[in-house]
Structure 1
Amino acid sequence: MSGTTYDLLVELLATRFQVDRADISPDATFEDLDVDSLLLTELLLVVESELGVEISEDAASPQDTVRRAAELIEAQSAKAEK
């Protein structure tokens, strides 16, 4: 997992979705952060816009960790670069 992608997720969660930065960790699930499936979909759309990467709406679930989401985004970025 790249620090850059993880850092982007932390920044978006804290600034756009008002998640307390102190609660965010690589192993925190979106459920732990009170991010439901609708907010998660919105987060993924923002990431798509920021990074220019296409991510399926159902690619991540509230049970996934922030680390897992960062890895997913990186995998999609790598596919897009090919």
Structure 2
Amino acid sequence: MASTVYEKLVGILDETFRVEPEVIRADATLAELELDSLAVAELAAMVQDEFGVRVSGQEVGKDSTLGEVAAVIGAKLPSAAVAGG
């Protein structure tokens, strides 16, 4: 389920990028969460470390919503990993 991916992304945004949890929403763009291009690239690297998948700048950018990012990652994961097990 993509919610596991989403929850991990929320944790990364909170812990690494210091985004306040109350402003993190699935429909918020990365730009609205104050991630610039460099931070988006850093997030992509962290996604690769955390989930073992690569996301490109064509798939995820400052105008992508957090929900879209989670969906891109979820689509690349084996179904067992998406379900959290």
Give the TM bin, normalised by the shorter chain.
Answer: 0.7 to 0.9
Instruction: Give the gaps of 5 or more residues in structure 2.
Output: none
Q: CA deviation at 1:37?
A: 1.4
Equivalent residues in 2 for 1:10-29 (5 A)? Answer: 10-29=10-29
Give me the whole-angstrom Cα distance separating, in 2, the residues matched to 1:54 and 1:30: 17
In structure 2, C-alpha distance between the alignment counterparts of 1:54 and 1:28, rounded to whole Å: 22
How many residues end up aligned between the 2 structures? 79
Structure 1 residue 2 and structure 2 residue 15: aligned?
no
Please tell me the residue identity of whatever aligns with 2:68. Answer: R
1:26-58 Cα offsets, whole Å, 9 max, x none, are: 001111111111101101110110111122244
Structure 1 regions of 5+ residues with no counterpart?
Answer: none
Computed over aligned residues only, the root mean square deviation of the Cα atoms, in angstroms, reads: 1.6
Which TM-score applies when normalising by structure 1? 0.87
Structure 1 residue 51 and structure 2 residue 23: aligned? no
**Could you state the TM-score of these two structures normalised by the residue count of structure 2?**
0.84
Find the residue that maps to 1:68 and give its secondary structure: helix
Amino acid of the structure 1 residue aligned with 2:28 = A
Instruction: Tell me, yes or no, if the aligned pair for 1:14 and 1:20 is still in contact at 8 Å.
Output: yes
Alignment-derived partner of residue 68 in structure 1: 68
Aligned partner of 1:21: which letter? P
Worse overlay, 55-64 or 15-24: 55-64
Query: Structure 1: how far apart are the matches of 2:56 and 2:64?
Result: 15
4+ aligned runs moved over 6 Å, structure 1: none
